[in-house]
A and B are shown apart, each in its own frame.
Chain A
Amino acid sequence: MKWRLKNRNHVRQWIEGGEKLPLATQNYPSRGQTAIQELYQTKIGKLFLKKVSQRNHQECQIHPKDGTLAEREYWAFCLASFLRLKVPELILMDSLTTVQIWFDLPDGRQYTTAQKPLELQGNNVFDCALFDWLTAQVDRHDANYLYDFVQQEIILIDSGHAFLKYSGSLPDYLRIFEAAYKNELHKKQASSLLDRIKNCSKDDLKKQVPLRNSEEKETLFARQQQLKQIDTIAGIIHLYRIG
């Protein structure tokens, strides 16, 4: 059964009735931007709770009044769901806390460190890159995406550093793709996700991503417009390079 996290009270009850697994996340790759990270074994499976602190926002130069890291992660989840990009189900518990369904997959860092380079598929990379560009994601390092090596697909996680008005560096998976799949960079990608982004109205975007800062709001709309001209992975990489 695929569980949905729609009701905070249910999630709270599942966590309270579950057991914390401190040993499972002892080596979890955190870069110190999350104050609390807890994994729980619950009746619906493993749930991952993250709570950020005010200090985390100062370190990242994010004004909580514009949207906390937790809120931004939730908005990114809402937008991904709206655009039908596969990401783990997530709920905002309070302005600083999220809970998400734990996916039993290694992240990019674990896989490449323990096994071998990622084998990627252009259409999946294109969709993830579209989303990361649209959401102005600035923290897509190798532990912020999972790697499903059966399907050879990446799944974006930890998308809290999003919807900022400044651009980030190239996502880690795009760097890998650019180096290893040169022949596919200029291949035209048919993407239903791109169609949905193009057809997304301003009201749709505002509904999914209720940004409070007008500059960030305008950045989101501008990024959507930029993607209307894009149909290759090279095109998205170019957007990053021109800033």
Chain B
Amino acid sequence: MKPPHSDRIDEFVNAMQLCIQSVISGVTWDSSKNTIEIGFNPVEKKDEKLVQIKRLLPLEEENEHRLKIKLDYFKSEACKKLTTFLLLTRMEEKNIQKLAEIDSSYAPFLSKLGLKEDVIFNVNNLKDASAFVFKLVENRKLTLRELSQKTGLTQVALSNFKLGKSDMRLSSFLKITSALGLKLKLQ
């Protein structure tokens, strides 16, 4: 027998499965306790995204193979919000940060996940700036070619900046920060 709010449960489980590596083996309803149990086939390595999602859920019980949530949660606005959050971000950090920037109603998820809303990075010299920018490029899995396409700067210029071989014009640097969606603050 299907539990009440089964559409909401399905949507949530579908979105969750899109994010995590562990395979969801089944969803069962315990009508006596009015809880939903989601079972997993765990992966060999730690499933970081599953760990993160657990932080966002009001869990009744959990272990490596299953988690239990009150059935009522699935009819709540909070569940709807989390389902959308999962669907849009797929628990990728860059997506999470951007979504919270676009829509502040997602900001509480950042603090629950331990991600600060603003990362302030002090740049004292060219090496600092280059290291920060290219760490971000690496995190976003961007290639130099893709960055070159986004900024209109040559790959050679970008590579020289990365390796600290040459200085960079402020206008070029601003093209990079803009392409990466960074905000510059001068104080």
Contact = CB atoms under 8 A, between A and B. Distances in A.
B88 A115 contact: yes
A111 B85 CA distance: 10
Nearest to A18: B23
A222 interface: no
A110 interface: yes
A115 B103 contact: yes
Interface of B is mostly: helix
B18 interface: yes
B50 interface: no
A21 interface: yes
B41 A110 contact: no
A86 interface: yes
Interface of A is mostly: loop
A201 interface: no
A80 to B, nearest CB: 14
A106 interface: yes
B102 A116 contact: yes
A110 B18 contact: no
Interface in A181-215: 192
Nearest to B96: A150
Contact of A110 (B13, B17, B87, B141): B87
B23 A106 contact: no
Contact of B18 (A19, A104, A116): A104
Interface string A106-118: 1000110011100
B62 interface: no
A125 to B, nearest CB: 14
Interface of B: 10-11, 13-14, 17-19, 21, 23-24, 27, 41, 43, 84, 87-88, 90, 92, 94-95, 98-99, 102-103, 140-141, 146, 149-150, 181
